[in-house]
Amino acid sequence: MSQRFRHVEDRGHLLTEKRNAASHDLDALSISDAFDLASAEDRSVPRAVAKAKPAIVRAIRCVSTTWKAGGRLIYVGAGTSGRLGVLDAAECPPTFRSDPRMVQGIIAGNRKALWRSVEGAEDVSAAGRQAIAACRVGRGDVVMGIATGGTTPFVHDALAEARRRKAKTIFLACVPKGQVKMSCDIDIRILTGPEILSGSTRLKAGTATKLVLNMISTLSMVQIGKTYGNLMVDLNSRACRKLVDRATRVVASATGLSRNASAALLLAARGSAKTAIVMHHLGLTRPQADARLTHCGGHVRRALDRSR
């Protein structure tokens, strides 16, 4: 037996590695019964996320404060966790017209690992430190390590390097703190329990990760003025036809104008739904509306408050 196998730590005690009693006979179930089992297990995920509300709220407050000060959110993970971090980072610019540098994703194994699993990359702890150094992480940034099983060396060392550089750190795992300890500013634990396929954390743990990342990035964007009510007012309306249509409908919803009038107003606002809405409600020119939005920190609701 090679040295690699002789000295592998037993992870069988971890919550994400345990066998799920409900799925012991998974291979013997009918497709219909297997569907019902998987569906029942998936329904437990939102409840597990809700139980972590205090830590998630702290994370949203930390990220939004960091963004207001010009800092970045950097996700770090391996495998499914890494891919979900990269995905969330990639989805922010078209949704919120944010600078691509504002939310970034680091995955063990680099870009190749996005398309095909790079087994072993997660065990190279030095690569985690190097990735943080390459991003020039500093005091004004937030680094969020994602490791559903909690033990990924790449993530542990990335967070250690981020702490050394005085960045804020967040950790997301699906195992109890008593099973895996982590030194960080905010520790989020989503206890989704054993998977129907033992150890396959691309299932419930992956779903929980996606829910948490959605919540953190979206609600942090809300805090910095990227929405008006539930309207996506800071989208990149020039990116594609779908977003041109959405921006037009956003302006129509916020102003009560017809579709044609909203399209004309959006054109006059040079594609900015925010500017268009403020122009309409306050009777301002585009430069005046832009200046008012800047004065109000980019928040449409504040800009429309005539008492300001």
What pLDDT shows up at residue 12?
A: 67
Based on the number of CB atoms within 10 Å of its own CB, is 230 exposed (0-12), middle (13-18) or buried (19 or more)?
Answer: exposed
User: Do 41 and 135 reside in the same domain of the chain?
Assistant: yes
User: Do 212 and 256 reside in the same domain of the chain?
Assistant: no
Report if residue 61 sits inside a domain: yes
Report if residue 210 sits inside a domain: yes
Report if residue 5 sits inside a domain: no
CATH code for the domain of 270? 1.10.8.1080
- C-beta of residue 122 within 8 angstroms of C-beta of residue 154: yes
Domain count, the chain: 2
The SS3 of residue 174 is coil
Report if residue 168 sits inside a domain: yes
pLDDT digit string, tens, across residues 132-165: 999 999 999 999 999 999 999 999 999 999 999 9
pLDDT digit string, tens, across residues 49-88: 999 999 999 999 999 999 999 999 999 999 999 999 999 9
User: Do 104 and 218 reside in the same domain of the chain?
Assistant: yes
* pLDDT tens by residue, the chain, 308 residues: 445 555 667 776 878 878 899 999 999 999 999 999 999 999 999 999 999 999 999 999 999 999 999 999 999 999 999 999 999 999 999 889 999 999 999 999 888 888 888 878 887 789 999 999 999 999 999 999 999 999 999 999 999 999 999 999 999 999 999 999 999 999 999 999 999 999 899 999 999 999 999 999 999 999 999 999 999 999 877 778 998 999 999 999 999 999 999 999 999 999 999 999 999 999 999 999 999 999 999 999 999 998 77
Catalytic machinery residues = 91, 122
For residue 108 the two structure tokens come to 């063990």
User: Do 67 and 130 reside in the same domain of the chain?
Assistant: yes
User: Do 209 and 255 reside in the same domain of the chain?
Assistant: no
What pLDDT shows up at residue 9?
A: 78
User: Do 197 and 245 reside in the same domain of the chain?
Assistant: no
User: Do 26 and 175 reside in the same domain of the chain?
Assistant: yes
User: Do 125 and 260 reside in the same domain of the chain?
Assistant: no
Report if residue 7 sits inside a domain: no
Report if residue 56 sits inside a domain: yes
Report if residue 64 sits inside a domain: yes
Is the entire prediction scored with pTM above 0.85? yes
C-alpha closest to that of 272 among 73, 66, 291, 101: 291
User: Do 59 and 95 reside in the same domain of the chain?
Assistant: yes
* Boundary-marking domain end, from 167, 191, 223: 223
Residue corresponding to tokens 């992870």: 11
Q: How far apart are CA 234 and CA 232, in angstroms?
A: 6
- C-beta of residue 268 within 8 angstroms of C-beta of residue 293: no
Q: Whole domain around residue 247: which residue ranges?
A: 241-304
Report if residue 155 sits inside a domain: yes
